[in-house]
Each structure stands twice: as structure tokens, then as C-alpha cells.
Chain A
Amino acid sequence: MSMIQLSPWDLALASLLVLLLARMSWRLRLGVERRVLIAAARSAVQLTLVGLVLKVLFAQTSLPLIGLMALVMLSVAGFEVMQRQTRRFGGPWGYGIGSLSMFLSSFSVTLLALTLVIGVEPWYQPQYLIPLLGMLLGNTMSGIAIALDNLTRNAWEARGKIEARLLAGQNWEAAIEDIRREALRSGLIPIVNAMGTAGLVSLPGMMTGQILAGSPPMEAAKYQLLIMFLIAAGTGLGAMAAVWMGSRRLFDERQRLRLDRLRGATKN
């Protein structure tokens, strides 16, 4: 099996479908035609650019350039985590907790996979590093965003209960124990569900891509399995780090609950 190259014409044909969708939206007065077209144009531009950037990266295998790309990916993911918080930490912590836990989990798991599992030579070969890191960042990002959001929102609502436990002489970790556990659980549920239904409902995106590009299905399945395990580990580690740092930051050195460190609900 070999890969069938897509010509610009093939893509133009597919884009006609999007135009048709926009036209239908206009006819049915759904009012989303503008947004459909803008989103389609954005994805075309962004993916073309990423394709070009990766082409340059793959041709050079230069560590500084790859590091720069990884940094850009991390900072965008960090921003996204911050944006998804109803009540986020004020100051640098709002950005820092999410980014640092993503950095710790995604980068270490990617490194582990590259050196010990896949055994790429050199370990930073971009054809492996960039897609792996992207998958991990994308998934840990959702897990961490959900877990952190859950932690801060529930702590905000349970202020009376947390302080009652502090007044009863419990230390801060005991006082926030329930909320912390719930936050961690909520962050892990998406990946656990994804593993549980993998292959039964739909083929995961990466496996689909490999099959379309001509890989034997068993090879694609093995890679997908590897990725899923990595994502599960990365999401778990990342959510734990974020929830730990976040809950620590909710209390000060005298073990007072410091909800004033959270910024109020601004968005949504």
C-alpha cells in the first residue's frame, strides 16, 4: 500500500462541500455562514503554515528550532488552560500553574517515549517529537483545564465548609481533601472514557490518519495504543501536579483559605 497524494484540485473539491454548507446556512437563515467560512479559511491557513514550518523543521533536525516550536506549542496551550478557568488564580499563577504542570507531564512523557519506548535516533528527531508532543499537550491541556476549573470553582462554593474544617483543627490538606479528589477525578474522566470506547465507536484520529496514509492497520493500532497510554499517563501526572499546586496556592503559610487569590468570574 502506498499513499495517494492529494492534489490542490482534490482539496478544492472538498472545499465545495463547505461552500455548499455555507449556502444552506444562508438559505435556511441559520446565520452561521460567516463563521463557517471564516473557520474554514482559518484552518486552511493554519494547517498550511504548520505544514510549511514542519517541512523546514524536518529538513534540518536542529534542536534549538525544535525547542522553539515546542515552547510556542506550550505557551499557546498554557494560555488556553487559563482561558478555560471560570475563577483563575490572579497574577502569574493563573498562567503558571497550568503551564508548569503541562510542561512537567507532557515533556517528560514525550521524552520517555522517544528514548525508551520508540528509541528514536537522535531523540529529538522532529518527525516523532512534534506530533507526539502535540498529542500529549492537546490532551493534558483539556485534563488540566477541567481539573483546575473544578478545583477553584468548588473551593469557592465550599468556603464555609473548608473553613469549618480548619476551625475544627484540621490541616489544609484535610480541609480540601474532598474537593481535591473530585477535581482530579473530573480531569481524568475524559481520557478514561476515550480508552474505554477506543475502536468501538470510532477509530481515533491518529490511527485513521495512519491508515489513510497507507500504514498497515495493525501498525496503526499499535501506535494508537502507545499514544493512548502516554496520554493517560501524561494527563494523570499533569492533573495531579496542577491540582496539587492549585490547592497549595489556595492556602497561605498560616493555613488560611485565600480565595482572594482567585479572580472573580469574568468570562461567560
Chain B
Amino acid sequence: MLATKSNNAPAIEQSRTDNVVVSIRNLKKAFGDREILNGVDLDLHESENLVILGRSGTGKSVLIKCMVGLIVPDSGQINVLGRDVFTLSAREMNELRLQIGFSFQGSALYDAMTVRENLEFPLKRNLGIFEKRKLDEMVMTALDDVGLAHAVDQWPAELSGGMKKRIGIARTLILKPKIMLYDEPTAGLDPITSMEINELILSVREKYKTSSIIITHDISSARTTSDRIIGLINGKNKIEGTFEELKNARDPDLEPFFKY
């Protein structure tokens, strides 16, 4: 159902009752005098693909970086898998991060390591797995899931943009996260590769039962991957609903996306 933001957002505890895995209330963040997030509220439900749609510079990436503690917000509440992220110790935050996969806009592959080493790195460091046979098995499974098993011994510099995105996703999937955060997954890719990435996002949910937040300004990606869309305008979640609902709403801030 189409909804616009209410000023009386429900308390965070109330929202947890309904299989909510991420709950954000009144999140604010400014860089100097520039307000980026200006009171964002959102809930992500279990196995849901939630798309955050908005123009560049509206704070979409800042929002998901706040969720994993990469950026500290000025005020507000973020609750991930039942834990308030601002009250966690460094060790607890690390434990929580293992349950969140983050796919970066630029893939962020470690360029001093091969694809195999990129995928082995979190396994060795987080799970203490050093047995070669087991590492190989886990690496190949993750690469198979993104259709790039043949690239296992290549260097990041030898990969195309789409391949890098897929390997980046495989590197997060190898830890079997419960939540996936995709930061502009199709940015800079051709339409066919974008479509492949969108299908990959759907298949990841199918296989790994993840709940996902997808940050994008790519309307075709939003249409393919979303169960629900939130329109982030001027640092606020202005409107939310399904793709069709938002398309028919003819909101002046979001209409240009649908016309494009």
C-alpha cells in the first residue's frame, strides 16, 4: 500500500514485532552545514528486497554506511537483527557485521590479492578456516553461485566491471550473511550486465534467504529487484510502496525516474 511519511513514526520496539530485521528511526547526519539525512525512518522485513530510490547526493549510501558503523550518524536509532548498533562494543559490532553483506559501488576487491585470495580472506580471518580443501570448496561454491568459477585465479585488474561486482557479491556471500546491502549494484554497467546483476540479486535471496536493501537510481533495477521501494528525497523517506504504486503516484520528485 502506498504510504507517505507520517510525523508520528511508531516506536522502534513496536516495529520489531513483525519479522523486522532492520529498523531505523529518525536518523540524521550532516557533514558540516550540509544535512544529508534529515530524519529517515525505515523497516526491512525478513526475506524482503527493499529498494531505496533517489537522486545522487540524497544520502542513500550514507544511510547504509550508518547501518554497518562505517559512518556515525548525528542522532537517531538503528536496530539490526534485534541489536541497537550504537550500544555495541567493537567486538559485538564485528560479530554483527559478519551477518551483513555489503556490496560496494566500486566492488572494493582487494587488488593485491587474486580472486581466490579475496574470497579466502574473510574465511581465514573471521572463521579461522585454513584447511585448503575446505577453503577451495567454499570459494568454488560462492563463485559458482555468481557464475564466475573460471575466474578463480585471476587478478581484480583483469576483470570487467560486471565481473568485479559479481566477485564482490561472492566475497560477501561466502560468510552467509542474513542481510545484504547493495550500494548502486548496476552503476556504470551496460544494460545486459545490469540485468544479469539484477537476476543475481534475486537468486541470492532465493538461495541464501537474505533480506536486502538495494540502493539505486536505476529504475529498471528497482523494478526487477524490489518488493517495496522507498523514495529518499532531500534526506527523508518521502514516499514508499511497490513499483507500480510509486509509478502511479506521480510524485513530482520521483516522476522523472519513471519517465526516463
- The answer on A and B forming one complex is no
Q: A residues engaging B (CB < 8 A)?
A: none
